[in-house]
Structure 1
Amino acid sequence: MTESREHVLDGSRGSIAVREWPHPRPRCLVLVVHGYGEHAGRYAEVADVLVGQGAAVFGPDHLGHGRSAGERVLIEDLQDVVADVHAVAGLARAAHPDVPMALVGHSMGGLVAARYAQLHGAELAALVLSGPVIGDWELPRRLLALDEIPDTPVSPAALSRDPEVRAAYAEDPLVWHGPMKRPTVEAFARMLDTVAKGGDIGRLPLLWLHGDDDRLVPLAGSRVGIEELRGADSTERVYPGARHEVFHETNKADVFADLIHFLDDVLTH
């Protein structure tokens, strides 16, 4: 595995921990934008694959997540997370000027990455969305209709068919295992609406990855958002039987191959 190093940035609402998987002379930069309740360290294997293909990889722990500051999983405005990711892009570019940059966003990170692309797409060479929370995601509506949000944490079984992935997630002290918080759910609902109204990403190449057995962020709901977001150059890969975390699934070798093929194609055109 590639050795990582950590940076600390001043974020929108406190310090942001950023993990870097370095490459001495990268042909591209990849920003990994993690999902709700987790942290960038869970993407070490993805980063290792990317570094092996010539990328320098950077991944922030979002506000209230991982090693970053803030009350756990409390995000009152996802635009703060978008701004923090933009600051991480600045850190990466300062280290490697004039190197093309791709954004890889998973789940909630897919929602953040989609908004980032709407705002800063001219700065990107490619956008990859994995199980993205965009389009018609009913969970926020369902939770906000309740007087009290139930204490039902994410089930590890919904993430992957791989029992080792499930066990590691359940035992990870940097993963949040408690209930969602109402301000965060409200922030999800607002950002879903913002992205839906934000327009497509034009000529920015998009790769959409999704498991067809994703029960956390169902395929059909995300497709609504992809149709609104996609521009002139989009590719989709739907994996039979795969659950929410396709980078941690039993067929991850196929997912990595699709990711590398897409980035190679972008970088050589």
Structure 2
Amino acid sequence: MQSETPPNFWGYMPPEEYYTSQGVRNTHSYFETPNGKIFTQSFLPLDRPDVKGTVYMSHGYGSDTGWLFQKICISFTTWGYAVFAADLLGHGRSDGLRCYLGDMEKVAATSLSYFRHVRRSEPYKDLPAFLFGESMGGLATMLMYFQSEPDEWTGLMFSAPLFVIPENMKPSKVRLFLYGMLFGIADTWAAMPDNKMVGKAIKDPEKLKIIASNPRRYTGPPRVGTMREIARVCQYIQDNFSKVKAPFLTVHGTADGVTCPTSSQLLYEKASSADKSLKMYDGMYHSLIQGEPDENADIVLKDMREWIDERVERYGSKHITP
């Protein structure tokens, strides 16, 4: 008989008790946008009334903010940051057809409306503020940056961002063309090959089991419109890397089989930012924090902590828009 899946990635401990044990206070609620309701979470440090800055996080394809992604949120919170995360449209507990991303500009604008709402609120408006995106969340984060005022964000952080699709993951142009002949009827069909992405993302077998047990993870084939739009937006981002002027850190594993390491390398080479950082991790897979053995994840987190702490020190609140 199959054992019941625990309600949380950490097991059966009540959520409040778990978060307290990690030194964070967690709240969650729904945020109304013109495109529907999105599920949002905040993670605040328990033991310090003041925070260094705010970080606004976006998860990857098929995932959500409520399972292992929280490990990233909690880490940043224990370093003294207020962290805010939202399930992307069509993901987790947010509105929208499951994993349908037929308009990435809209998906990005929806999360951005929540992030801006918090960013401009009284406790946080004068603090350094960072956008963080993992995997496809990196693609959404870059669109959010392009939709923002030039100095709205102190910096950007990307973990294995999706800007370049590996050859074996690219949607077939013939297939997309044939579906396109159906005049949009096929756009929402879950009919594209999925190439078993999860196995290529997670190195640690125990963590793979935990991630696979997420009850809100999307496990169906990719939708036609999703793959069409991801291919289009990746090309758009590649064509506009030079418009990136904010300070940023991008990190990638060299053995990433889901998003090309050249995503981070090209961003680093082509961005106009005066302050830009690239970290490549030899032999690491796609999911650098949730999916690698702890000793590897700790290396990545240490680099992220050093980078963000240094930017808070360097820029303070001078990037803040009045």
TM-score exceeds 0.5? yes
Q: CA RMSD for the aligned pairs?
A: 2.1
The Cα shift of 1:112 comes to 1.2
Task: Tell me the secondary structure at the aligned position of residue 196 of structure 1.
Answer: helix
1:35 maps to which residue? Answer: 60
Of the three residues 73, 77, 82, the one matched with 1:51 is 77
- Equivalent position of 2:299 in the other structure: 254
Alignment of 1:111 onto 2:156: no
Q: CA deviation at 1:185?
A: 1.0
C-alpha spacing 1:35/1:202, structure 2 compared with 1 (3 Å): closer
Residues 262/268 of structure 1: CA separation in 2 closer, same or farther (3 Å cut)? same
Describe the shift of the 1:74–1:139 C-alpha distance in structure 2 as closer, same or farther (beyond 3 A): farther
Residues matched between the structures, number: 269
Matched, 1:129 2:168: no
Given candidates 157, 160, 171, the residue that maps to 1:142 is: 171
The reply on whether 1:25 has 2:50 as its aligned counterpart is yes
Distance in 2 separating the partners of 1:136 and 1:111: 11
C-alpha offsets along residues 175-201 of structure 1, whole Å, 9 cap, x if unaligned? 111110011111112212322233535
Secondary structure in structure 1 of the residue aligned to 2:116:
helix
User: 1:186 aligned to 211, 220, 228, which one?
Assistant: 228
Identity of aligned residues (%): 25
Deviation sequence 1:130-170 (CA, Å, 0-9, x none): 11111465467434433574453644321222122200111
Gapped regions of structure 1 (runs ≥ 5): none
- Greater C-alpha Rg: 2
Amino acid at match of 1:131: A
- Paired with 2:51 and 2:243, the residues of 1 have a C-alpha distance of 25
Q: 1:189 to 1:260 in 2, by over 3 A?
A: same
Q: 1:200 to 1:117 in 2, by over 3 A?
A: farther
Give 1 or 2: higher helix fraction: 1
Preserved CA contact (<8 Å) 1:47 1:57: yes
- Checking the alignment, whether the CA contact within 8 Å between 2:58 and 2:86 is kept in structure 1 is yes
Q: Would you say the 8 A contact 1:160–1:242 is kept in 2? A: no
TM-score (norm 1): 0.91
Q: Distance in 2 between matches of 1:123 and 1:99?
A: 11
Match of 1:130, as an amino acid?
A: S
Q: Pick one of 128, 137, 144 that aligns with 1:100.
A: 128
Match of 1:63 among 86, 89, 114: 89
Q: Distance in 2 between matches of 1:223 and 1:216?
A: 15
